[in-house]
């Protein structure tokens, strides 16, 4: 079988994701990369060889280059433009999350996928995290009965280094970090709970980084491709150098959600904690689950399934496998699933539904609207029925699909 020919739009922060797909002679090869910055294009030639097409015009990947699939890894505010162009050109699209930074933009992406029939896959890789797969399987098995509540606390200990020294800090390009970071967790909450948010209420602040006097001077620079190994963690947060000139996104947010199946959920996000990990608690009518660790060695899931007092070890402990590679191997599994769909001509991903990705965007946008207006309840705009029906080929509407 010939290799799937891959084009990449955006080779910055998430550029290494497309690199996971590059296996010349073994099923897929990156043949073209578009980016506005020469440093990122030079990195592409280093990764893929001098034969790769490098260009500052993404249209070259769609008009001149022979590509079968496109990885859209550009900054969030460009996702709509790039994904719609690639889908309209008949390419299968791997779209990095969040799908878009507004509900309107997300719906345009969905409409384009529906009208063209082109494959759309959104890279919500956390559904492939080993400990979350374990939690989902325990829920589906009935270990805690019927789910009634999901709580997530997200300690973004390196949030300053990642999100407040470049475009992520400017709501014109990110809207809210409830999208850039929270879209992951909101999607997982929906997945674990088996429903989508229908109403939200939120509070938030720009509590630390907006008050920094250590602002970057000169023109903005593109964020480099980084790895956990070379990340610099500045501490304490107020000492962070090179803070973006514009900081108008919140660095702490508290969100409450009512789902369409009656489940209640909360999502708390903080970008100036000393530690970095996520903690999910799922409560059913006959038990409770909680993860400890974020996929590193020692991560486990604990189950409480009978009456007790303070039992920090729980009644059952499950240790998931420790995956290798970026995000514990979840990135590779995401890429492999996409490539399998492209090669087989499939029209749906087993877990990464475009409808679910849109619902994460809609929930985050509604929460952002609430917190910026004093915390009033906001209705989460559902997918239009006709669009939902048009995308039936991508899988059932329910997030457990």
Task: Please write down the HEC assignment for all residues of 137-188.
Answer: HHHHHCCCCCEEEEEEEEECCCHHHHHCCCHHHCHHHHCCHHHHCHHHHHHH
**Residue 88: pLDDT over 80:** yes
Calpha distance 305→318 (Å, rounded): 14
Q: Which residue has the higher pLDDT, 208 or 396?
A: 208
| 347, pLDDT greater than 60 | no
Give 90's pLDDT tier (boundaries 50, 70, 90). very high
What does the block give as tokens for 159? 């949030």
Residues 269-306 have pLDDT tens digits of 999 999 999 999 999 999 999 999 999 899 999 999 99
Task: Tell me the sheet residues that pair with 29.
Answer: 5
What does the alpha-carbon distance between residue 312 and residue 294 come to, in Å, rounded to a whole number? 18
Cα-based angle 14, 18, 22 (whole degrees, multiple of 5):
150
Give Cα 318 distance to the centre of its chain: 25
Closest CA to 180 of 360, 400, 388, 401: 360
Q: What is the mean pLDDT of residues 35-39?
A: 93
* The two structure tokens encoding residue 10: 């955006």
- What confidence tier does 325 reach under pLDDT thresholds 50, 70, 90? confident
Whole-Å CA distances, 331 to 15, 21, 44, 128, 194: 12, 10, 19, 8, 23
pLDDT tens digits for 364-384?
A: 999 999 999 999 999 999 999
Which pLDDT band holds residue 158 (cuts at 50, 70, 90)? confident
Structure tokens at 303: 């189950």
Task: Check residue 226 and give its pLDDT.
Answer: 53
Question: Is a pLDDT exceeding 70 seen at residue 396?
Answer: no
315 φ/ψ sector (left φ>0, alpha ψ -120 to 50, else beta): alpha
| pLDDT at residue 223 in the model | 56
Is residue 209's pLDDT more than 90? yes
Q: How many CA atoms lie within 13 A of 382 on its CB side?
A: 12
Residue range 352-365, pLDDT digits in tens: 589 999 999 999 99
Does the pLDDT at position 116 exceed 50?
yes
Residues 170-196, mean pLDDT to the nearest whole number: 96
Predicted confidence band of residue 255 (pLDDT cuts 50, 70, 90): very high
pLDDT of 228: 54
pLDDT of residue 182 exceeding 90 = yes
Tokens coding 238 = 């107020």
Which pLDDT does position 327 carry in this prediction?
80
Rounded mean pLDDT of 103-109?
Answer: 97
Distance CA 203, CA 397 (A): 29
pLDDT given for residue 326 in this prediction: 82
Which pLDDT does position 350 carry in this prediction?
46
What pLDDT does 265 receive? 98
What is the longest distance spanned by two Cα atoms in the chain? 66
Q: Is the pLDDT of residue 21 over 90?
A: yes
Rounded CA separation 328/30 (Å): 23
User: Strand order in 277-284's β-sheet?
Assistant: 316-318, 300-304, 287-292, 277-284, 147-155, 264-270, 252-259, 197-205, 378-379
Interatomic CA distance for residues 99 and 78, integer angstroms: 10
Q: Give the pLDDT band (50/70/90) at residue 232.
A: low
> For residue 1, is pLDDT > 70?
no
- Residue 151 reports pLDDT greater than 50: yes
- Cα–Cα distance, 287 to 379 (Å, whole number): 30
* HEC sequence for the chain: CCCEEEEEECCCCCHHHHHCCCECCCCEEEEEEECCCHHHHHHHHHHHCCCCEEECCCHHHHHCCCCCEEEECCCHHHHHHHHHHHHHCCCEEEECCCCCCCHHHHHHHHHHHHHHCCCEEECCHHHHCHHHHHHHHHHHHCCCCCEEEEEEEEECCCHHHHHCCCHHHCHHHHCCHHHHCHHHHHHHHHHHHCCCEEEEEEEEECCCHHHCCCECCCCCCCCCCCCCCCCCCCCCHHHCCCECCCCCCCCEEEEEEEECCCCEEEEEEECCCCCCEEEEEEEECCEEEEEECCCCCCCEEEEECCCCCCCCCCCEEECCCCCCCHHHHHHHHHHHHHHHHHHHCCCCCCCCCHHHHHHHHHHHHHHHHHHCCCCCCEECCCCCHHHHHHCHHHCCCCCCC
C-alpha–C-alpha distance, residues 354 and 363, integer Å: 14
The better pLDDT of the pair 396, 381 is held by: 381
Mean pLDDT of the chain: 91
Where is average pLDDT lowest: 180-189, 233-242, 314-323, 379-388? Answer: 233-242
135: confidence class by pLDDT, cuts 50, 70, 90? very high
């Amino acid at each position: 079988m010939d290799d799937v020919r891959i084009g990449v739009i955006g080779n910055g922060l998430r550029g290494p994701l497309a690199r996971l797909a590059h296996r010349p002679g073994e099923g897929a090869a990156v043949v073209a990369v578009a980016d506005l910055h020469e440093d990122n294009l030079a990195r592409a030639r280093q990764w893929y060889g001098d034969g790769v097409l490098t260009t500052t015009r993404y249209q070259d990947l769609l008009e001149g280059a022979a590509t079968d699939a496109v990885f859209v890894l550009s900054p969030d505010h460009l996702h709509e433009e790039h994904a719609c162009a690639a889908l309209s050109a008949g390419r299968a699209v791997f779209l990095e999350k969040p799908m878009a930074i507004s509900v309107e933009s997300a719906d345009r992406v969905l409409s384009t996928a529906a009208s063209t029939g082109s494959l759309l896959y959104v890279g919500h890789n956390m559904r492939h995290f080993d400990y979350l797969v374990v939690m989902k399987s325990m829920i589906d098995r009935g270990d805690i009965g019927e789910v009634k509540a999901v709580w997530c606390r997200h300690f973004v200990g390196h949030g300053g280094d990642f999100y407040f020294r470049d475009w992520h800090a400017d709501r014109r390009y990110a809207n809210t970090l409830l999208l850039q970071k929270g879209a992951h967790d909101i999607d997982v909450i929906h997945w674990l709970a088996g429903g989508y948010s229908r109403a939200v209420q939120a509070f938030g602040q720009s509590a630390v980084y907006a008050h920094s006097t250590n602002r970057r001077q000169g023109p903005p620079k593109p964020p480099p491709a980084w790895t956990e190994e070379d990340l610099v963690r500045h501490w304490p947060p107020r000492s962070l150098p090179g803070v973006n000139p514009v900081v108008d996104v919140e660095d702490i947010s508290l969100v409450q959600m009512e789902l369409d199946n009656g489940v209640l959920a909360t999502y708390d996000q903080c970008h100036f904690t000393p530690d970095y990990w996520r903690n999910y608690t799922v409560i059913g009518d006959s038990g409770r689950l909680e993860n400890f660790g974020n996929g590193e060695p020692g991560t486990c899931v604990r189950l409480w399934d009978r009456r007790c007092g303070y039992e920090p070890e729980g009644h059952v402990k499950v240790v998931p496998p420790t995956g290798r590679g970026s995000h514990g191997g979840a990135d590779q599994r995401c890429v492999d699933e996409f490539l399998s769909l492209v090669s087989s001509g499939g029209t749906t991903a087993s877990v990464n539904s475009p409808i679910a990705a849109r619902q994460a965007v809609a929930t985050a946008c509604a929460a952002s609207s609430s917190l910026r207006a004093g915390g009033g309840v906001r209705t989460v705009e559902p997918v239009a029925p006709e669009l939902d029906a048009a995308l039936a080929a991508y899988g059932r509407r329910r997030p457990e699909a």
